[in-house]
Amino acid sequence: MLDYAQAKAAIEKDKEQRIQEHQIRIANRQRMHAMAGPAGLRTAPPLNLIAQGDSWFDYPLPFPGASDVIAHLRNVPKGPEILSLAHHGEAAESMLGVKKLHELLRELRDPQNGHFDAILFSGGGNDLAGDQFRLWVRDAVSAGSDPAQGLLQPRVDGVLAVVRAAYEDLAQARDRIDAAIPIFVHSYDFALPDGKGVCGAGPWLQPGLLDRGWEALADGQLIVRELLSQFSALLDELQTRHANFVHVPTQGTLGAHDWANELHPTPGGFARITQKFLEALRAWPAFQGRI
């Protein structure tokens, strides 16, 4: 088993390989475009996207292969070029710490990556629904066993303020490079706190609910829904405050059968979430006919 240092080194090596492969694809595309001459100028090139975030953008199951949003986007007709900096090995780390932000900005600035048409970002889920989820949940007795009162709102306000700060930093950093590059974000979907984990990880929701005295699945679902609805409202607000910031409406997309575990959809579920991203990308005026 790899120790922490070895695991981090392996992740960095994997990312470096992704960057090199992306740069090769971009160089090849530029050469083909130049060889096409005037005819090439009339052909809209595929989108060039950069992605950063959590396991919804880099989910390694089923193995071998992958079933996350980025994997599905790459397989659509007129699929975009995507440099993905999201890595499942870092999924539990802060959503946009100094390292992740600087990594994203470095690749945005590197001309060998080509001009990026958009940034895709997936973050906030681990902050809200990780092992610390119980911190946002009110004790069932003090809530009068009413799931509508199941959140400790001052604490939720506090964690959402941290999430807001990360998104604000992302938008401001983008503006310093090129404010015209749109950022596409999402608000996950209403996870089922049914106690299902994966490969020894999780569950992430049910233990906190049980610890606070919420035993009925239906009550837990209402509490999770309210928390994620507040996150969605935050992204809606950020969309109004920042130019070229797009909240992809993913909530309400998945049914109970679309969840593989408490935090991750099945391959089919990820495909349905990806369709929402496709609709948002295709609706962007500058991307007409390019995806």
Per-residue model confidence as pLDDT tens digits over 10-19 = 999 999 999 9
Reported as a pLDDT band with limits 50, 70 and 90, residue 47 is very high
Is pLDDT larger for residue 279 or for residue 64? 279
**pLDDT over threshold 70, residue 40:** no
Give pLDDT, residue 57.
Answer: 96
Q: Write the CB contacts of 267 (distance below 8 Å, at least 6 apart in sequence).
A: 62, 67
Distance CA 251, CA 191 (A): 10
| CA distance readout (Å), 7 to 52, 71, 94, 150, 175 | 19, 22, 17, 38, 33
Q: Is the pLDDT of residue 116 over 70?
A: yes
4-35+47-282: CATH number: 3.40.50.1110
**What percent of the chain has pLDDT above 70?**
96
**pLDDT over 70 at 2, yes or no:** no
Using alpha carbons, list the distances in angstroms from residue 109 to 105, 116, 238: 6, 9, 24
Are 118 and 284 contacting, i.e. CB atoms less than 8 angstroms apart? yes
* pLDDT tens-place string over residues 238-256: 999 999 999 999 999 999 9
Task: Give pLDDT tens digits for 179-202.
Answer: 999 999 999 999 999 999 998 889
pTM score: 0.95
The whole-number pLDDT of residue 158 equals 96
Q: What is the pLDDT of residue 245?
A: 98
Averaged confidence pLDDT in the chain? 93
Residue ranges per structural domain of the chain: 4-35+47-282
Q: Would you say 10 and 1 are in contact if contact means Cβ atoms under 8 Å apart?
A: no
Predicted local distance difference test score (pLDDT) of residue 39: 60
CA distance 255 to 252: 8
What confidence tens digit (pLDDT) does each residue in 142-183 have?
999 999 999 999 999 999 999 999 999 999 999 999 999 999
In order of 12, 13, 196, 202, 256, the CA distances from 17 in angstroms are 9, 6, 33, 30, 37
pLDDT at 184: 98
Chain length of the chain: 291
| pLDDT for position 286 | 96
Residue 94: pLDDT band by 50, 70, 90 thresholds?
A: low
- What does the pLDDT read at residue 41? 57
For range 18-30, the mean pLDDT: 96
pLDDT value at residue 91? 59
Structure tokens, 177: 């490079």
Judge whether residue 219 has pLDDT over 90: yes
pLDDT at 270 over 80: yes
Edge to edge, the sheet with strand 183-186 lists 81-84, 48-53, 118-122, 183-186, 245-248
